[in-house]
Structure 1
Amino acid sequence: MTSRVHRRRGTGGAGPLAQEAPRAHCAAVARSDREEPEPAGPRLRERGLLVRRAAPADGPAVAALLDDRDVLRWLPDLGSAPPEGGAAAGSGALGVPGVRPVGTAHRLVVEVGDAFAGLVLLTEDGEGGGWLACAAPPSARGRGTTAGAVRLVLTWAFAELGLQAVHWAVEAGAWPARRLAWACGSAVDGTVRALLPVRGDLRDAWVGTWRWDSSLQRADRWLSPVELAGGGVRLGPHLAGDVQRVAQACSAASTQAWLPSLPSPYTVLDAASWIAGREEEQARGAGVFWAVRPDGRSRAGADGTDPSDPVDDDGPETGPLLAEVGLFTLGDGVRSGEVGYWCHPDARGRGVTTAAVRLVVRHALAPADRGGLGLERVVMRVASRNTASRRVAAKAGFREVGLDRGAERLRDGTVDDFVRYDLLAGEEQDPLPPRG
């Protein structure tokens, strides 16, 4: 049972920027009492947030941050930055190989209520530009603290230091860092192959820029698969452990028959690339993709397990991946989107996909002020001979509205028409429970 969700292969990779290190923002360490005078330098304040020049007494908190597992994974050279006020003779975590910044290095500490909340490193290149990197302890993550600190530092860099542009570069795949840059108004300018040296290896890097006239506020939409539940299924984001189930589903002959663009053979590497590509689509606001799992409260053995087995009810991460439903061809000002899906062979024939599609469509057509995407129309295209997917469209409330003749060459070499369906706001239906 498949539709067009897997038709366009996404880019591989993922990644944060030298920033809120991948879910890593080391345990907050309260600043120790000290009698020595405050260090000279900028003291930037906003809504209980303080960014100041680092002092010797910050050593233990900074050391703990640099020893954080996620910081070590994504920013291994953060601790090798030049000393405060010293010349930046290399690149390290603050620059990019070949750039060789030669200006002043600024090591800044972030505080919230006298508690250590992160480190921001700004290195001038001596030519009116600079490079920025930052990290925060776990206790300070997810609160907007690091984004607030980055905005303060950038404002200071442009207004007081006279910089014209500040750049960032992180290993591709560092999604928390990239989301931080997005929250501060920077898009990804591009991916540079084999740019960053990490433990003797050259890694691909995402790079971006803030200009002196940048707004420093998010501009584009970053879509996320919000949790949806009903009809015996629960929808949420993909997990790293989903790759095996994705590979199984997409290597099945019954899936490959209707999605001829899938690699064949389809491996776990293809599955990992697909999941990472969905993250990229969401970051660009072009689509949003849900992993479908048993609800836990109404499992009914839809995944091939004994329904009497105990199941933890702890959200969308409960249970194996049953299917995927995606909504794509989205963008700012777009009134409609296209829905597509595939289902693992061992979860078919139980109404799982129909329930999931109804949940996604209801969310897509709900007004934005009620937490939905605010679309006015959702469309679906299905190969005319794909009777299982056409049944899903009908049961999910879609209306058949047209035919695209000779639209797809299938895996067996034959050419099939696409049947077009749509659903307008106000026509969506509630999900039905899957059949046991």
Structure 2
Amino acid sequence: MPIPAEHPVLTDGVVTLRAPRPDDIEAQAERNREGSRWNDEDARRWMTFGITDAWKRRERLMFVVEYQGRYAGSVALEPDVDGNARVHYGLSAWARGAGVMSRAVRLILEFGFTTCGFHVIRWWARVGNWPSRRVAWATGFRFSETIPRMAEENGRRVDAWNGWIRPDDPREPRQPWFEHPVLETSRLRLRTWREDEIPRITTARTNQATAHFLPFIPQPFSAEDARFWLKDMAEQAAAGRRFNWCVADAETDEGLGNLTLFSIHFRGEVRDAEIGYWMHPDAQGRGVMSEAIKRVAEWYFAPESAGGFGGRRLFIRTASTNAPARRTAEKAGFRHVGTERAAFKISTHVDDEVTYDLLITD
């Protein structure tokens, strides 16, 4: 492959990728102290000759990331025998949050594809490494299935996210990354769930009604199930597939239930989505969920220029015999628009499915 013998200088006018210099050593050592297992001597060896030696051996093509005239981190390509490469990157704390690493990755992708001739550049990160995933998302990587126990971290096997990008792929996000707005009413706050609320989630999801109307949900719903569910909801938001809010008491911040916006369709200017919901037993019968649905609908129908989603239609589907869910939909202003026979599986049989909807014009 036409890999240059020495580091070229790459820049987009804001971020520069270059070879290491002696004055980078202390900055690298400082970055190591932010969480790396490397010590100051490791930093000195790596910055003095480790990076250049790895480049000469074609094992790792690493650049220093310079931002505002300072060492800000590093980015590298690791070639493989098939003519592809894997991207690695890390950024100092002071430079985070300004899009520095996304710029650096775009520069090294162009170098890898145009100069080195790589066919595919791969990325992977431990599940839960959201900063790394956001950079991969921002620079156009396609995401594949999570691979269980792919990597080792601190002596244990961990699951890993995976992605790839090709030479002709755009260097920009392929789908939206949903950021959850905090929505409020006089008595409710809709926000994301926290890890310390797992007991509240397990109690709410373990009940006879859930077992009957949603038989695919494990019963009892364990803490492990709740942790997996929280992780999945975060990944669904990152993939632009669904929003998921904890419906909390505005005064105490106690979680009262859950509201999900999913099956979100983008068809030009037409945007439709489905709503799903469940309540904690001690919050039922107080009109909480219908109030939460009205608030989400208000945000959903508001134009993007006003901080909304710019949606057109919301709908709710449930079993025809699920009277509480139907009452909630009706109290929230949704209209019953159809019944599909034998289309909703519950624990005892396949029930009829009822559909409610709400339009922006309602």
Q: How does 1:215-294 map to 2 (within 5 A)?
A: 215-294=170-249
Q: How does 1:191-230 map to 2 (within 5 A)?
A: 191-230=146-185
- TM superposition shift of 1:78: 11
2:16 is matched with 50
Q: Whole-Å Cα distance in 2 between the matches of residues 64 and 200 of structure 1?
A: 25
> Contact 1:354 / 1:396 at 8 angstroms: preserved in 2?
yes
The answer to whether the aligner puts 1:180 opposite 2:146 as a matched pair is no
1:86 is matched with 53
User: Which residue identity does 2:172 align to in structure 1?
Assistant: Q
The answer to whether the aligner puts 1:128 opposite 2:83 as a matched pair is yes
- TM superposition shift of 1:235: 1.4
Q: Whole-Å Cα distance in 2 between the matches of residues 336 and 414 of structure 1?
A: 29
Q: Whole-Å Cα distance in 1 between the matches of residues 145 and 189 of structure 2?
A: 35
> Contact 2:266 / 2:272 at 8 angstroms: preserved in 1?
no
Secondary structure of the residue aligned to 2:51 is: coil
- TM superposition shift of 1:126: 5.5
Q: What are the ranges of 5 or more consecutive residues in structure 2 without an aligned counterpart?
A: 1-5
- TM superposition shift of 1:336: 1.3
Give 1:155's match in structure 2, choosing from 103, 110, 135: 110
Q: CA RMSD in A?
A: 2.7
> Contact 2:54 / 2:60 at 8 angstroms: preserved in 1?
yes
The answer to whether the aligner puts 1:65 opposite 2:31 as a matched pair is yes
Q: Whole-Å Cα distance in 2 between the matches of residues 387 and 183 of structure 1?
A: 44
- TM superposition shift of 1:420: 1.3
- TM superposition shift of 1:103: 2.3
Secondary structure of the residue aligned to 1:83 is: helix
> Contact 1:251 / 1:264 at 8 angstroms: preserved in 2?
yes
Give 2:300's match in structure 1, choosing from 360, 364, 367: 364
User: Which residue identity does 1:43 align to in structure 2?
Assistant: V
Secondary structure of the residue aligned to 1:277 is: helix
2:310 is matched with 374
- TM superposition shift of 1:402: 1.4
1:104-133 Cα distance to aligned partner (Å, 9 max, x none): 423322222123322212223355322211
- TM superposition shift of 1:231: 3.7
The answer to whether the aligner puts 1:383 opposite 2:319 as a matched pair is yes
Q: Whole-Å Cα distance in 2 between the matches of residues 243 and 175 of structure 1?
A: 21
User: Which residue identity does 2:26 align to in structure 1?
Assistant: P
Tell me: CA distance 1:417–1:402, structure 2 relative to 1, closer, same or farther (3 Å): same
Which segment is superposed worse, 418-427 or 362-371?
A: 362-371
2:3 is matched with none
1:408 is matched with 344
2:256 is matched with 322
> Contact 1:129 / 1:163 at 8 angstroms: preserved in 2?
yes
User: Which residue identity does 1:393 align to in structure 2?
Assistant: A
Q: Whole-Å Cα distance in 2 between the matches of residues 42 and 103 of structure 1?
A: 14
- TM superposition shift of 1:332: 3.3
Tell me: CA distance 1:419–1:103, structure 2 relative to 1, closer, same or farther (3 Å): same
> Contact 2:183 / 2:295 at 8 angstroms: preserved in 1?
yes
Looking at secondary structure, tell me which structure has more strand per residue. 2
- TM superposition shift of 1:87: 4.0
Q: Whole-Å Cα distance in 1 between the matches of residues 300 and 259 of structure 2?
A: 12
> Contact 1:118 / 1:135 at 8 angstroms: preserved in 2?
yes
Identity of aligned residues (%): 33
Higher relative contact order (CA 8 A, sep 6+): 1
1:122-177 Cα distance to aligned partner (Å, 9 max, x none): 22335532221111123322221111111112112222333332211212232221
TM, length-normalised to structure 2: 0.87
- TM superposition shift of 1:209: 1.6
2:93 is matched with 138
> Contact 1:106 / 1:121 at 8 angstroms: preserved in 2?
yes
| Aligned residue pairs, count | 349
- TM superposition shift of 1:65: 2.0
Q: Whole-Å Cα distance in 1 between the matches of residues 344 and 164 of structure 2?
A: 41
- TM superposition shift of 1:276: 1.2
1:426 is matched with 361
1:19 is matched with none
1:119 is matched with 74
Tell me: CA distance 1:254–1:80, structure 2 relative to 1, closer, same or farther (3 Å): farther
1:26-55 Cα distance to aligned partner (Å, 9 max, x none): xxxxxxxxxxxxxx7332222432222222
1:23 is matched with none
User: Which residue identity does 1:422 align to in structure 2?
Assistant: D
User: Which residue identity does 2:127 align to in structure 1?
Assistant: A
1:394 is matched with 330
User: Which residue identity does 1:113 align to in structure 2?
Assistant: Q
Q: Whole-Å Cα distance in 2 between the matches of residues 79 and 239 of structure 1?
A: 40
